[in-house]
Amino acid sequence: MPAPRARLTVDLDALAANHAALKALAGSAEVAPVVKADGYGLGAGPIARRLWAEGARTFFVARLEEGEALRAELGPERPARILVLDGATAGAAPRLAHARLEPVLNSPAQVEAFAAYARANGPLPCALHLDTGMHRLGLTADELDVLASAPDRLQGLTIALLMSHLACADQEEHRLNAQQAGRFKTARALMPDVSGSLANTGGVFLGPAFHHDLVRPGIGLYGGGPFARSHPQLRPVATLAAPILQVRAVAAGETIGYGATFTAERAYRVAVLAAGYADGVLRSSAGRGRAWFAGDFRRILGRISMDLMVVDVTGCEAAGPGAMVELLGPHVTVDEAAEAAGTAAYEVLTRLGPRAERVYSGAQG
């Protein structure tokens, strides 16, 4: 009999439903899933294969290695377009070309180096990233203007996309959203024949002015809400459940866990679960987080340790060794878990550790 351990279930049918919901909102714009960080911690291969079956043909990753791995996972029967957000870093051009990956070029130096490689080895597709106000990666407006007015600098390149990234799309009323939309519209006039992309998940929900030709949803595909809260149009995709190892009594005045941070003000019945921060349960959620078991929410008591955690099951006769407790899923949503931990849904998902058993439910791609 296998030893008890946490189980991460990835609902591919829920993923497909979220893709369909985002596609309906995006109108005529192509929906290009973001599957970086191993599909936000849920497995880029199974995620991308199912989304390919749902009609997705363009995918975004962050790193070159992620793009190479995704190309292998999709195989020759799924000739997807894969864009690498890091762009063409030093020495990466041969690997990008070999794996048929399109770099999102972020600087004049990247443009120059990738164009030089293309001129020597044959035309290559790529995207250009314009910084419209986030001040991370991206060409400045002046740098884009120089490229647009001097097309010889782009010789050898097929510019397939002009994109930018919204800094505050998860805040519907933030002034920067309209400001970035305006800057991007102005920039697109410099390259009117090139497709445009501005919207992430939040941008999809901000409306048609943000959609352009292609949208790039990430967190919404995996069940996270566009505005840092659950959204009725999006279904939870990941469920993390942990087995109870032991049920025990804690007397009033006794403490629980490392640091004795929780003192029982009364008698408690508690369940010790086989899950901790090594499984992706964020330590910072202690004292604020909750689990779901036997039809009710159960408070997390004391510190979360590497392998174990404790929840309150006082008055719950169903609690016993082997029973599974939901730590993340349809009741404890990824946005609620993020709020309890003082972080974002993105971190909750990408921190899910490899130790938990992984199960994929629903139709496989």
Please tell me the number of Cα atoms within 13 Å of 200 on its side-chain side.
23
The pLDDT, as a whole number, for residue 3 is 73
Q: How confident is the model at residue 242 (pLDDT cuts 50, 70, 90)?
A: very high
Domain 238-361 in CATH 2.40.50.140? The answer is no
Domain with CATH 2.40.37.10 in the chain: 238-361
Cα(347)–Cα(287) distance, rounded to whole angstroms? 19
Domain with CATH 3.20.20.10 in the chain: 32-222
Quick one: which of 311, 317, 147 has its CA closest to 244?
311
Annotation says 277 is catalytic: no
Residues 82, 68 contacting (CB under 8 angstroms): no
Mean pLDDT for the chain?
97
Q: What is the average pLDDT across 90-105?
A: 97
The pLDDT, as a whole number, for residue 318 is 96
Cα(155)–Cα(29) distance, rounded to whole angstroms? 28
The pLDDT, as a whole number, for residue 151 is 87
Which of 90-98's residues contact partners 24+ apart within 8 Å by CB, and which partners?
92/64, 93/117, 93/118, 95/64, 95/68, 96/64, 96/67, 96/124, 97/121, 97/124
Q: What is the average pLDDT across 288-301?
A: 97
The pLDDT, as a whole number, for residue 28 is 97
Report the first-to-last Cα separation within the chain, whole angstroms.
31
**1 pLDDT exceeds 70?**
no
The pLDDT, as a whole number, for residue 9 is 98
The catalytically annotated residue of 40, 185, 222, 258 is: 258
Cα(308)–Cα(276) distance, rounded to whole angstroms? 5
Q: How confident is the model at residue 4 (pLDDT cuts 50, 70, 90)?
A: confident
Q: What is the average pLDDT across 26-36?
A: 98
Cα(227)–Cα(173) distance, rounded to whole angstroms? 11
pLDDT, one tens digit per residue, over 145-173 is 999 999 899 999 999 999 999 999 999 99
Say if pTM beats, i.e. exceeds, 0.85. yes
Q: Class assignment of domain 32-222? A: alpha beta
Q: How confident is the model at residue 82 (pLDDT cuts 50, 70, 90)?
A: very high
Quick one: which of 7, 60, 67 has its CA closest to 241?
7
Beta-strand relationship, 81-84 and 58-61: parallel
Enumerate residues 6+ apart whose C-beta is below 8 A from 151. none
Cα(164)–Cα(132) distance, rounded to whole angstroms? 7
The catalytically annotated residue of 23, 36, 268, 360 is: 36
Q: Is residue 25 within a helix (H) or strand (E), and if so which, with residue range?
A: helix 12-26
Annotation says 258 is catalytic: yes
Quick one: which of 136, 92, 135 has its CA closest to 110?
92
